[in-house]
Amino acid sequence: MAPVKHKKQPAPEGSATSALVAQTPAPVAAGSSPTEVADQLHSAAIHLLRRLRIRDRESGIGPAQLSALSVLVFGGPRSLGELADAEQVRPPTMSRIVAGLQRARLIRRQATEDGRRVRLTATDKGTKIMWEGRKRRVETLAKALASLPENEREELRQAITLLQQVIRNL
């Protein structure tokens, strides 16, 4: 398989994205192998999330704390170990992240029935911050999608359905 080529796209000078690696994946050719499609999808997903992540700075929370808070807001209460697993970090690292979230009053610890474990839950303040951040990301993405013709937005909607199927198969 030939290496995947990426075409550099200059970011607007002085923009927040100019600090990022501004590469956009080359279009996937018809008849590409599953590996080539997977490589391009992987690259596009990373680039999309990096560009949207710029809006996360407005929350005033660091990326690690924001990610952990997201798990609790959108996935529900978890133990420290479950949260560490979800974030793919070790429990001592998660303890430090949780301590910062707790100091900021974005999460709280709740004792379980047996008293030996605690459940971490998002506070109203933490939930509000996450929903506001999600709204900023969606608005940014919607603005970019509005520049596409209707038929291309429909193609993208169909591709999302396929992506959801792929996700279920992972």
- The model's pLDDT over 16-61, given as tens digits with 9 standing for 90+, comes to 444 444 455 567 778 789 999 999 999 999 999 999 999 999 999 9
Predicted local confidence at residue 155, as pLDDT: 95
Predicted local confidence at residue 4, as pLDDT: 46
Closest CA to 72 of 50, 53, 97, 48: 97
Angle 113-86-94 from CA coordinates, rounded to 5°: 75
Q: Does domain 62-123 have CATH number 1.10.10.10?
A: yes
SS3 label, residue 75: helix
The domain ranges of the chain are 62-123
Statement: residue 74 has pLDDT above 60: yes
